[in-house]
Structures are given as structure tokens and as C-alpha cells.
Amino acid sequence: MAHILVSYPSTTVKCGGFSGGMPPWERRQSRAVGVVQCCSCSSTEEVGVFGKVENESKRSKSRSREIKEIDNNNNNNNKETDENKLDCLVSEFGWEVRRLVVEDDEMRRVAFLQAQAFHTPLLLFNDLFFDFFQAEVLSGLLYKLKNSPPDRYACLVAEPANNSSRESQGKLVGVVDVTVQRDTPVLQHLQGAQEYVYISGLAVSKSFRRRKIASVLLKACEMLAILLGYEYLVLRAYEEDLGAQTLYSKAGYHVVSGDPPWLSSWIGRKRRVLLIKRSNI
């Protein structure tokens, strides 16, 4: 299954929440591949890694308090009318897409879906590194929800429609991030636009892939862009991922540029391409 990449360029709204301004799955591409290497840890750092386990428990409690704080703030938000309009953005092929509910369990399920999609399996201590990776994804989600207005950032989730099979009832099967940005290198491709909707972090549960969920999520992103009044949608994908580019092409996106060659040769990161779509606003 193809995944839309996350990128956090400099904008007026900081929605990264990751150390170094780069999400963990992007940061990995700039590192040399090793047998045990993952994120910022390697086999030579085992003592340091295990020393973090106790601290992780404390951070988990802190995240729970942050989730409750965000929930309380949302309950006091005066934009209830706008929120009600976005309860269900799209319902197709047996799937519905809505905004994420700011609630402990649902946020953790979203973090698990994205971590599952972007985590690179390791030969040693894979479960431990996956837990760290998932915690970092959750931390980034908390940061974005806490620091971004609802008309600048949204986490959209896909779930089965009411008449779906029992197999999928009550499950989150897909997720995608939508952020309003105005990065100058991107705007040069968008005639007359001052801002655009950036799509990132698209992930579908392994058990529910190839069931049109990614297509429904992309359509929900476009619907949100129309409701918010934005003309262009933008996303990035790896140049070598032809399956992903086929998916986006069918959804109406086309390639307009790519990363400079030196970025992959010097830093070692896979080359990405920039795709745009004009909404039906």
C-alpha cells in the first residue's frame, strides 16, 4: 500500500511536533541503513535505549494529560457550527471519513496506524523500537492538535459505514493529515494562490488495504479543502513508488516538480516528487 509522505516546510503554522522539524519516517530516509539502526538509536546504544524505558512510562502519563487538556479546550470552542459540518465528509464504498475525535483511545489508534505504515522492521529489538516510534508519532499528533486552529489542521479518519460487515465494525481503518500551508517553493506552481491544503501521513490498516480506503480519504481531503475555501491540494510521494503515483493520478493529481538530485546523492534520502490538484471549488 502506498503512503503519502509527510513534510513540514516553514509556514506560519508549525504543525511538525517532531524533533528536528522532520517526522520520524522522513528522518529515517536520511540515515544510512544498518541492521539494527532505527530513528536515533543503533546497536551501539543499547544501554541508552533501555535506559529510556522508564522515562517512556512518565511521558505516556504526560501525553494522557495533554489529551485531556486538548479535549477540554475543544469542548469550550465556539466554532461548533463549523465542526458539525465536518462530522462526515465522504461516505463511499462502505467507508466513512470524519475528523478525529480528540479522545485518548482514538488518538492512540491513529498513532498506531501511522506507525505501522511507516515503521521499518528491524532484526533486533523490533518491538521496542516500534513502541518508541509509535510514541513519537503520538507526540507529533498531540502537538499539532494542541497548537493548530481547526481551520488550519485536521486529522481525518476512515471507518466502516453503518451497514458494513461485522469484521470491520468499530475500527479505524485509515488516517490522513490535512494542513493549510504557504511554502513559497510550492506556491510558484499554484497560479494566484496564497495558501494551499497539504496532504500527508496517509496510512491504511494492513488488514484493510486494496479496498478503496485510500481513495475515499483523498476525496475527503478535497471535500475539506472546498469547505475551507482552498483551491489547490498538494502532496509528495517517492519517485520510485509507481503504485502510489498511479493512485494519485487516478485521483486527479499530477507531478509538477521533484527534489533536487543532490538531496538524494549527498543526504541519502529517496527522491520525492511534488503533486498538485485543483479542487472543484
231 with 281: CB under 8 angstroms?
yes
Instruction: Provide the annotated active-site residues.
Output: 248
Domains and CATH numbers, the chain: 19-278 (3.40.630.30)
pLDDT in tens, 116-169: 999 988 999 999 999 999 999 999 999 999 999 999 999 999 999 875 555 555
Report, as an integer, the average pLDDT of 252-256.
96
pLDDT of 10: 37
pLDDT of 260: 84
What stretch of H or E contains 132?
Answer: helix 126-147
pLDDT of 231: 96
Task: Assess whether pLDDT exceeds 60 at residue 76.
Answer: no
Of the pLDDT bands very low, low, confident and very high (cuts 50, 70, 90), residue 262 is confident
Distances from the Cα of 236 to the Cαs of 148, 186, 229, in angstroms?
A: 21, 11, 22
Report, as an integer, the average pLDDT of 227-246.
94
- Of the candidates 55, 45, 46, the one whose C-alpha atom is nearest the C-alpha of residue 139 is 55
* Nearest-5° Cα angle at 137, 125 to 185: 125
More confident of the two residues 223 and 39: 223
* Residue recorded with cell 496564497: 194
pLDDT of 168: 54
